[in-house]
């Protein structure tokens, strides 16, 4: 049985108070909190095994390297990649997307080629492709959405053509919680000869990932969205694509030999991991993966759905409140506005009552331009949120509305 109190006991920050009120943390789409096992793993690394990896001949270097590569193996299993060489550690989802744009993209996209995005994309999955398109003379196309925040799937047959070289979309919208039909999109893209990059920043914490079953070419995500440290990301890529891609950053570790006349590059995955990585963060991420894998996905999913449904029902009872993204199935994210009240004002008053939410455009300005609003209040839920916290949130929101009206 899923015991939310047992889960909460593993997250020290949930005992904190904000402005004298118990913390109700509902900003999980921005970053999740960290269990004690992650915090202790990082602390232990610095206390007992701190050393640079791969290049040392001494005991600490060997131990650190083992722990670092253990996390790579855990990550491979987590996304069901074929082999560990397909797992590249980066600084985050943004870094992973930029890596693909600056290597595979520069090598394979030319003038007149098309890159397909969607209206639901985070800026991190828009701007890198705009930079590439401007450099190469490529064309960006966008999958439109319906009012409820779902793709206009019928448009795919006209948007995807032999000129489409890359499709880059998120699996779950960070702003609306929409779960996108990426399996259908991947099949259509591959039928046209295009490659597919999936932004999995929001999906990895809410559903099992199987990159082989999806047959995506690239999959990107961040550790900090998955109860791990900030500054650590993952790029999964099919081996044959990664091997054909040129290095992006030059330096130590990504080389086999260097002379002033010629440099020979290292094998995968090291070719894309120049310099000293965030060793402690990667090792801490290993603990986060172990924590997540210790839970039953079905129990976690059921708990989050209960929280989402309860919050949605309570919010819809508030006069003038509008929820954006009304799909039958969605991730536990609610973006809303109340009448003409400014989202930032609502968020500030919620914070004074100990409730942490996100306000603004959530790095999805094109989406809110579609809805013709400057931004929203966003509440996003995780495994440690409770029904009682939802009631605290709703009560605090009603008080904020009263004060602002």
pLDDT (0 to 100) of residue 263? 81
- Ordered alpha helix ranges (H), 80-169: 93-100, 106-108, 127-136, 156-159
SS3 letters across 310-323: HHHHHHHCCCCEEE
Mean pLDDT for 91-117 is: 98
Q: Are 174 and 376 in contact (CB under 8 A)?
A: no
**What does the alpha-carbon distance between residue 220 and residue 211 come to, in Å, rounded to a whole number?**
11
220 assigned to active site:
no
Domain boundaries, the chain: 4-30+296-404, 40-293
Is the dihedral angle over the CA atoms 63, 295, 326, 393 positive or is it negative?
negative
Domain 40-293, architecture per CATH? 3-Layer(aba) Sandwich (3.40)
- Give residue-wise pLDDT tens across range 189-225: 999 999 999 999 999 999 999 999 999 999 999 999 9
Mean pLDDT score of the chain, rounded to an integer? 96
- Give residue-wise pLDDT tens across range 320-354: 999 999 998 899 999 999 999 999 999 999 999 99
pLDDT (0 to 100) of residue 249? 85
Distances (CA, A) of 102 to 109, 115, 324, 371, 380: 10, 14, 34, 32, 32
Q: Are 270 and 248 in contact (CB under 8 A)?
A: no
CA 64, distance to chain mean position in Å, is 26
pLDDT (0 to 100) of residue 260? 87
Mean pLDDT for 28-44 is: 98
**What does the alpha-carbon distance between residue 110 and residue 348 come to, in Å, rounded to a whole number?**
47
Bridge partners of 234, per DSSP, are 89, 221
CA 278, distance to chain mean position in Å, is 18
Catalytically annotated residue among 363, 370, 373, 399: 363
Q: Are 368 and 375 in contact (CB under 8 A)?
A: yes
Mean pLDDT for 217-234 is: 98
**What does the alpha-carbon distance between residue 180 and residue 172 come to, in Å, rounded to a whole number?**
6
Q: Are 265 and 271 in contact (CB under 8 A)?
A: yes
Is the dihedral angle over the CA atoms 126, 128, 130, 132 positive or is it negative?
negative
Domain 4-30+296-404 and domain 40-293 have a common topology: no
pLDDT at 56 over 80: no
Domain 4-30+296-404, architecture per CATH? Alpha-Beta Complex (3.90)
């Amino acid at each position: 049985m899923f015991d939310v109190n047992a889960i909460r006991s593993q997250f020290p920050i949930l005992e904190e108070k904000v402005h004298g009120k118990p913390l109700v943390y509902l900003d999980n789409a921005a970053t999740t909190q960290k269990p004690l096992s992650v915090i202790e793993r990082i602390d232990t690394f610095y206390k007992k095994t701190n050393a640079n990896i791969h290049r040392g001949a001494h005991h600490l270097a060997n131990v650190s390297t083992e722990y670092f590569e253990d996390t790579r193996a855990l990550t491979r299993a987590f996304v069901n990649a074929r082999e560990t060489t397909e797992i590249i550690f980066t600084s985050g989802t943004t870094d992973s997307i930029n890596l693909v744009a600056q290597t595979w993209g520069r090598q394979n996209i030319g003038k007149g080629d098309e890159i397909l995005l969607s209206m639901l994309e985070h800026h991190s999955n828009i701007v890198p492709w705009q930079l590439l398109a401007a450099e190469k003379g490529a064309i960006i196309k966008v999958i439109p959405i319906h009012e409820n925040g779902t793709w206009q799937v019928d448009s795919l047959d006209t948007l995807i053509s032999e000129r489409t070289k890359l499709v880059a979309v998120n699996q779950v919208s960070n702003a609306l919680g929409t779960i996108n039909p990426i399996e259908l999109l991947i099949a259509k893209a591959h039928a046209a000869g295009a490659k597919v990059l999936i932004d999995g920043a929001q999906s990895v914490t809410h559903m099992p990932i199987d990159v082989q079953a999806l047959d995506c070419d690239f999959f990107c995500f961040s550790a900090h969205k998955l109860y791990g440290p900030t500054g650590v990301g993952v790029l999964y890529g099919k081996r044959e694509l990664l091997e054909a891609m040129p290095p992006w950053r030059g330096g130590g570790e990504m080389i086999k030999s260097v002379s002033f006349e010629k440099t020979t590059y290292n094998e995968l995955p090291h070719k894309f991991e120049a310099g000293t990585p965030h060793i402690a963060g990667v090792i801490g991420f290993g603990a986060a993966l172990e924590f997540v894998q210790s839970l039953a996905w079905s129990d976690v999913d059921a708990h989050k759905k209960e929280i989402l449904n309860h919050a949605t029902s309570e919010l819809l009872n508030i006069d003038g409140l509008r929820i954006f993204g009304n799909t039958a199935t969605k991730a536990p994210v609610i973006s809303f506005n109340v009448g003409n009240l400014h989202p930032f004002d609502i968020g500030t008053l919620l914070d004074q009552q100990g409730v942490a939410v996100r306000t603004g455009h959530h790095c999805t300005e094109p989406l809110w331009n579609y809805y013709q609003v400057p931004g929203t209040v966003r509440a996003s839920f995780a495994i440690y949120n409770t029904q009682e916290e939802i009631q605290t949130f709703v009560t605090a929101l009603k008080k904020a509305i009263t004060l602002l009206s």
